[in-house]
Structure 1
Amino acid sequence: MAIMNKMREHMAVILFIVLLLFLASMTIGGLVGGANIVDIIFGRNPNAVAEVNGKNIPFDRFYRAYQQEIINYREQTGREPEGFQLETLEDQVFEGMVQNVILTEVLRKKGIKVYDDEVVFEIFNNPPDILRQNPVFQDSTGAFDINRYHEILRNPEADWRPVEDYVRSTLPLRKLQREILSSVRVTEEEIRQEFLRRNAKVKVRYVVFDAQAYQSQVGPISDEEVAKYYEQHRNEFSEPEKRRIRYVFIENKPSPSDSAETWQTAEDLLARARQGEDFAELAKAHSEDEGTAEKGGDLGFFGRGTMVKPFEDAAFGARPGEIVGPVQTSYGLHLIKVEARRKEGDKEEVQARHILLKFKPSVQTVEAARSRAEYIATQAKEVGLRQAAQAESLRVDDSGFFVEGGFIPGIGLNRRISNFVFHNREGAVSEVYETERGFYVVEVAEIQKARVRPLEEVKAQIQAILRQQKSFDLAGEACREAFEKIKRGGSLFDIVSDPARVREPEPFTMRGPVSGIGTDYSFIGAAFALEPGEISPPVKGTRGWYLVELISRDPFDEEAYQKARPQLYNDLLRQKRMQAYSQWLASLKEAAEVKDYRYYFFR
């Protein structure tokens, strides 16, 4: 009551302050394009998409680069990026700009400069990839031709200023990279070990004491054991804040008229092909099979069981030169031209080309779905998602709990939806989110704060862990007893009642896998550490425990090593340089203060 009385006494002052803040927000907002007063007070530049070590990345520069990446994607793939692809492009541009700010600061601190003679040397001797990939400077095989490049370079009429500007702008970073990587070395021992890792093979026999086989010998797990494990591993049961959403999904699926239009297009193309138009050229122009369209739809030779059944039946039922279709499969509609048939022993094969037309929603169908989703979003903000969806006879789904930035059950990975959910209160309804499959409207249903999961919730999980541990312990005990018998003069065959338990997989390398085991590096490491005829001590692997005997090892092939050595050296050097640079860059990013403001622009 005293607090309320104080507030009444100072109400005039409070109202005056609120009025000043309101006027300030209006004034500042007009000056900086819609800034809100909270941003100004707490120091966030409303026009910055990020802040890196105190330096702003303007949103307009970021957005221009983002749009350029979308254009590049469209030109490279012939498709519009959607959903997760858009997010991936956005992340690439964002990470690139953050990295550029960090590296620019490093260049400034190191005082790395570029001189004219260095630019000339680089242009003449180390042309950038953008030039190496230009067909003008390539030979008939598509390889960069340094002599042709030098010949064109000497042409006095050519304007090389754009190239000079490009090299001058990128050379500081290249000099920095050379400085970072100058200490990277590859030793003879590393090359030799890599050769062994790739090529040396061993032949072994082994006995496995599979932990699964001892599960039945494990007694009941007591509540005391569960409680003790829980107390000793409480941190393992902690989880961050989670949230749950309700959502409505409106699918982007073709309407009957869209499908009819696809059928008509297929019939038209079939008629043109049968009237004599080049099938390969039609495939290049119209096929939506990204893997074969550029090759004129060529599928090469294939046998039965390779293609989906309707396609296979049509292809094997046609004569060479015949064009059949449209054939409907789960991929869409196919027009198929059989080029040839042959027999390989008892196996018959056909060579064919095809044109694929996918069933896709038209622009009008997509816009109708979008409009419906927007209407749902508008209504849901007034009456809630359930009531708005019910009025439109739409189903409302529940995601269950998920963490920020993680997989959203029923939706998948979608950072923008996740950002909305974790930046808004319970009951908040989103705008429309578009994905490749359709449109989502979401509502924050429940917020579960960060916590340690209670014992009752994880009891079954702990029981399973303890049961697995005990079965491994029993398997290990049996393995050690068997090894003691071997130490007294026995063999692997002496410790088993059934000789079939002694297994001999095919020879394998250090990279694995091992037949019947997989890539278990504990097993592989133990095998390569043995001498022929030697049996290992008990080895704990992913399935249980092993006793391993080395039968033979390939001798070191010096001639093969010397032949492979140059390529191994180059592979290792490239790998170590990439690793060194990545680690150096990661350490810079970790030390940098990066504030990501994308949420304010992409909601």
Structure 2
Amino acid sequence: MTFFWDRISCFSYFQNFRRTFSSNPNLFHHNNLLFSRLQKLSNLPKLRRIFFEEYFRRYKMGMMNTMRTKMHFVLWALLIMFLGSMTVGGLVGGADILDEIFGLFGVSDDDPQKSIAVVNGELISPDMFFQVVQNRRQTARQEGQELSERENDQLYDEIWNELIQITLIDQEVEQLEIEVTDDEVYYELESNPPQIFQSVPDFQTDGSFDNERYLAALHNPQGDEWLYWEAFTRDYLPRKKLFDRVRYSVTLSKDEVWQEFITRNVDHTLSGLAIPTSSIRGDEFNATDEEVTAFYTSHLDDYLQDETRMLRYVKWDKKPTAEDTSDTKQFGTDLIRQINDGADFTTLAEIHSADPGSAVKGGDLGWFGRGRMVPPFEEAAFKAKSGDIVGPVESRFGYHIIWVRDRRGEGDDEELQASHILLNIEMGPSTRSRLKREATQFLYEVEDNGFGKAVEISDASLDSSRQFTENSPIPGFGFSQVPTRFAFRSEINSVSDIVETDNSFAIFQLMEINEPGPQPLEDVRKRIERDVRQEKQMARAEEMIGEVYEELLTGKSFAEVAETYDEVKLIEGKERKLSTALPYVGSRNPRLLGRIASSEPGELFDPFEGQRSWVILRYNSQGEIDEVEWLVQKDFIYDELLIKRQNEAVNAYISELTDNAVIIDNRRYHIR
């Protein structure tokens, strides 16, 4: 069948787009600017996802209401819902047409204020970055999730890395001159219906996706409702073709599949001896100062670190005061008064209880006996009569209002059926205001007298961090990107504004700036001492295993040799699958798998290095191979291994692109 969409110019493409949406002027604040810029483009630009995310976001709900009126609107609404729900990332998806409309990619100015990243000379605009961030946040809010400070920081990193990867992928597509034909676009739509279509009633029969109904709609368009699916498909197919090249380069032999089947399914009996480093003791294996220095000098590359900073800071912990405790208790008393006046306990529990497990059940705790609850709760509840409202009762969790609904049994077997409302004791507004005032006053003192003098005047508690990198928590303070950004974007001795976290208010001063390079010897001394000791122990274990091997060759048994050496551990001969862990060797040890594949049962293996140990094994026997099971599993194993290796190849390909790219990170100019 001839592909029914001719190639169209950018102008006519977006004229269709404009006619469809021009009746909704609120779709975009800069509608006229948008189309005036579109009309200046001479070629059909890449249709990418984020454009639809933003452009259709406000429109998609209205379109969804008319989905069932006719197929034309069904397809339009599906497109909007599909594209509106997509985000940047993945191997096939990409950035959007905004790079060509608003200049979000390929900005020609080298000013770091105009780019959040530069990838091989191609600039990525901060407008693009923050638009995607906003879309992701909105999606999270729609799902009832409010992102924490740390989650926001992780989101920044995630989106920045995705935009870098997308740019690199598109550059590679362009470099390799990968293009798609009309026939390839049409074949993709025919052969791989978008997943979202498969859940739409219009394309279903008896609740299941009906490919014939889908194809009928595809073959018989009612207008230009398929136009945007074509454009989107035309955009992602080059990326798909790029990764298909990588995937198809991966090979997998029948022997590899057979060995994996053996590893998973066939029992092997192996016995042997091991000399673990943990059994080699003595002060002679401790690292001397000379050995530490020599090891450090010869392994400098192992101790390289990024830029580091060191801060000192004053903080005001967000802790409830006695006044906050009193206010919480008074609120509990007020709730009890409302209940006694006729308010519904279950409703109040659903609204006010801080116990998520029982709040959704109106505070219901079910039946419980003695010893199940914290002591203050238990004592108050078991003293009460059925029907009593007790409280507020203070425990380490807060204040409880307890409703004893029923009781049964006697003595030690007595049980209560009760509900409760838990009120957390939290910092109140007045405490928060006081802490903020104290922090503000401290800043004033810093401005007048300097940081050190301000600490003395305010009698504040001063803390200091150790060195930390831009992507690590601040030692002693925890993970918080705001002070981290301050540390890496400020001059020495700079003082931060007030930083608020979930647990405190804090003010920081930058004390040290350390350039990239090897960590100081003293900072890694303990690690080196451990490594040197481990190295010396492994050398001794290797020496001993040679002696043990010679004794085995004389005909001694494993048990006899194990009795001779305190350091030698016996590995009992049990049936095991090679995919499971063998003591001192681990699971899927490549040395062991290779030796078994090339050996016959009964052979004694040469010594080899295990997990912090040296090992000798005898291959005693192999279980029977179930040929029927092989026929059942072989295709599944082949597919599983191939997909795994293909994904590894794709990830390695992307990593290579990233490693070889020249990437300038300008986030510090845009994220505060």
Whether 1:63 aligns to 2:130 is yes
CA offsets 1:422-473 (integer angstroms, 9 cap, x no match): 3322211123344443443221122345565677887776555444333333
Structure 1 vs Structure 2 CA RMSD: 5.5
CA offsets 1:77-100 (integer angstroms, 9 cap, x no match): x23212210011111222222233
Q: Quote the residue 1:565 is aligned against.
A: 634
CA offsets 1:541-563 (integer angstroms, 9 cap, x no match): 33332222334333332222332
Unaligned runs of 5+ in 2: 1-108, 405-415
- CA offset at residue 391 of structure 1? 4.5
Q: Quote the residue 2:232 is aligned against.
A: 169
1:394 is paired with a residue whose SS is coil
Question: Residue 141 of structure 2 is aligned with which of 74, 81, 91?
Answer: 74
Whether 1:585 aligns to 2:654 is yes
Question: Residue 149 of structure 2 is aligned with which of 83, 101, 105?
Answer: 83
CA distance in 1 between partners of 2:442 and 2:352 (Å): 37
CA offsets 1:175-229 (integer angstroms, 9 cap, x no match): 4323432514544333333333433343333322233333227378666655554
Whether 1:430 aligns to 2:493 is no
Question: For the structure 1 residues 138 and 368, does the alpha-carbon distance in structure 2 shift closer, same or farther, using more than 3 Å as the test?
Answer: farther
Q: Quote the residue 2:609 is aligned against.
A: 540
Contact 2:116 2:666 in 1 (8 A): yes
Contact 1:310 1:328 in 2 (8 A): no
Question: For the structure 1 residues 533 and 176, does the alpha-carbon distance in structure 2 shift closer, same or farther, using more than 3 Å as the test?
Answer: same
Question: For the structure 1 residues 452 and 551, does the alpha-carbon distance in structure 2 shift closer, same or farther, using more than 3 Å as the test?
Answer: same
- CA offset at residue 409 of structure 1? 0.7
2:210 is paired with a residue whose SS is helix
Q: What percentage of residue pairs aligned between the two structures are identical?
A: 27
Question: For the structure 1 residues 405 and 468, does the alpha-carbon distance in structure 2 shift closer, same or farther, using more than 3 Å as the test?
Answer: same
2:604 is paired with a residue whose SS is coil
- CA offset at residue 510 of structure 1? 3.4
Question: For the structure 1 residues 313 and 422, does the alpha-carbon distance in structure 2 shift closer, same or farther, using more than 3 Å as the test?
Answer: same
- CA offset at residue 252 of structure 1? 4.3
1:408 is paired with a residue whose SS is coil
Question: For the structure 1 residues 576 and 312, does the alpha-carbon distance in structure 2 shift closer, same or farther, using more than 3 Å as the test?
Answer: farther
Question: Residue 470 of structure 1 is aligned with which of 523, 529, 536?
Answer: 536
Question: Residue 311 of structure 2 is aligned with which of 240, 245, 254?
Answer: 245
Contact 1:207 1:501 in 2 (8 A): yes
Q: Quote the residue 2:468 is aligned against.
A: 402
Q: Quote the residue 1:210 is aligned against.
A: 276
CA distance in 1 between partners of 2:309 and 2:135 (Å): 35
- CA offset at residue 599 of structure 1? 0.8
CA distance in 1 between partners of 2:241 and 2:390 (Å): 59
Question: For the structure 1 residues 580 and 330, does the alpha-carbon distance in structure 2 shift closer, same or farther, using more than 3 Å as the test?
Answer: farther
Q: Quote the residue 1:36 is aligned against.
A: none
CA distance in 1 between partners of 2:431 and 2:219 (Å): 57
2:467 is paired with a residue whose SS is strand
2:615 is paired with a residue whose SS is strand
TM-score (ref. length: structure 1):
0.70
Contact 1:112 1:172 in 2 (8 A): no
Question: Residue 512 of structure 1 is aligned with which of 580, 587, 598?
Answer: 580
CA distance in 1 between partners of 2:532 and 2:313 (Å): 39
CA distance in 2 between partners of 1:457 and 1:491 (Å): 47
1:504 is paired with a residue whose SS is strand
CA distance in 1 between partners of 2:149 and 2:641 (Å): 37
Deviates most, 110-119 or 291-300: 291-300
- CA offset at residue 328 of structure 1? 8.3
Question: For the structure 1 residues 46 and 241, does the alpha-carbon distance in structure 2 shift closer, same or farther, using more than 3 Å as the test?
Answer: closer
CA distance in 2 between partners of 1:229 and 1:238 (Å): 14
CA distance in 1 between partners of 2:142 and 2:443 (Å): 34
Whether 1:502 aligns to 2:531 is no
CA distance in 2 between partners of 1:543 and 1:434 (Å): 46
Q: Quote the residue 1:575 is aligned against.
A: 644
TM-score (ref. length: structure 2):
0.64
Whether 1:196 aligns to 2:262 is yes
Number of aligned positions between the proteins: 549
Deviates most, 353-362 or 484-493: 353-362
Contact 1:207 1:502 in 2 (8 A): yes
CA distance in 1 between partners of 2:592 and 2:401 (Å): 51
- CA offset at residue 527 of structure 1? 7.9
Question: For the structure 1 residues 258 and 81, does the alpha-carbon distance in structure 2 shift closer, same or farther, using more than 3 Å as the test?
Answer: farther
Contact 2:307 2:515 in 1 (8 A): yes
Deviates most, 498-507 or 172-181: 498-507
Contact 1:432 1:440 in 2 (8 A): yes
Counterparts of 1:433-452 in structure 2 under 5 Å?
A: 433-449=499-515
1:479 is paired with a residue whose SS is helix
Question: For the structure 1 residues 191 and 399, does the alpha-carbon distance in structure 2 shift closer, same or farther, using more than 3 Å as the test?
Answer: same
Deviates most, 230-239 or 427-436: 230-239
Contact 1:203 1:550 in 2 (8 A): yes
Contact 1:506 1:515 in 2 (8 A): no
Equivalent residue letter for 1:592: A
Counterparts of 1:107-256 in structure 2 under 5 Å?
A: 107-113=173-179, 119=185, 121-132=187-198, 145-147=208-210, 150=213, 154=217, 164-166=227-229, 168-182=231-245, 183=248, 184-216=250-282, 218=284, 228-229=294-295, 231-236=297-302, 241-253=307-319
Question: For the structure 1 residues 367 and 454, does the alpha-carbon distance in structure 2 shift closer, same or farther, using more than 3 Å as the test?
Answer: closer
CA distance in 1 between partners of 2:402 and 2:623 (Å): 51
Contact 1:522 1:540 in 2 (8 A): no
Contact 2:204 2:213 in 1 (8 A): no
Question: For the structure 1 residues 571 and 210, does the alpha-carbon distance in structure 2 shift closer, same or farther, using more than 3 Å as the test?
Answer: closer
Q: Quote the residue 1:552 is aligned against.
A: 621
Q: Quote the residue 1:106 is aligned against.
A: 172
Contact 1:511 1:519 in 2 (8 A): yes
CA offsets 1:322-371 (integer angstroms, 9 cap, x no match): 99999988777899999xxxxxxxxxxx9999998766667786676556
Question: For the structure 1 residues 55 and 154, does the alpha-carbon distance in structure 2 shift closer, same or farther, using more than 3 Å as the test?
Answer: same
1:570 is paired with a residue whose SS is helix
CA distance in 1 between partners of 2:231 and 2:474 (Å): 46
CA distance in 1 between partners of 2:139 and 2:362 (Å): 24
1:549 is paired with a residue whose SS is strand
CA distance in 1 between partners of 2:362 and 2:636 (Å): 36
Contact 1:270 1:335 in 2 (8 A): no
Equivalent residue letter for 1:168: A
CA distance in 2 between partners of 1:391 and 1:474 (Å): 60
Question: For the structure 1 residues 51 and 229, does the alpha-carbon distance in structure 2 shift closer, same or farther, using more than 3 Å as the test?
Answer: closer
Whether 1:96 aligns to 2:137 is no
Whether 1:491 aligns to 2:551 is no
Q: Quote the residue 2:18 is aligned against.
A: none
CA distance in 2 between partners of 1:108 and 1:219 (Å): 58
Deviates most, 182-191 or 370-379: 370-379
Deviates most, 152-161 or 574-583: 152-161
Question: For the structure 1 residues 134 and 408, does the alpha-carbon distance in structure 2 shift closer, same or farther, using more than 3 Å as the test?
Answer: farther
CA distance in 1 between partners of 2:545 and 2:112 (Å): 66
Q: Quote the residue 2:58 is aligned against.
A: none
Contact 1:74 1:80 in 2 (8 A): yes
Whether 1:595 aligns to 2:668 is no
Equivalent residue letter for 1:90: Y
Unaligned runs of 5+ in 1: 1-41, 339-349
CA distance in 1 between partners of 2:402 and 2:262 (Å): 49
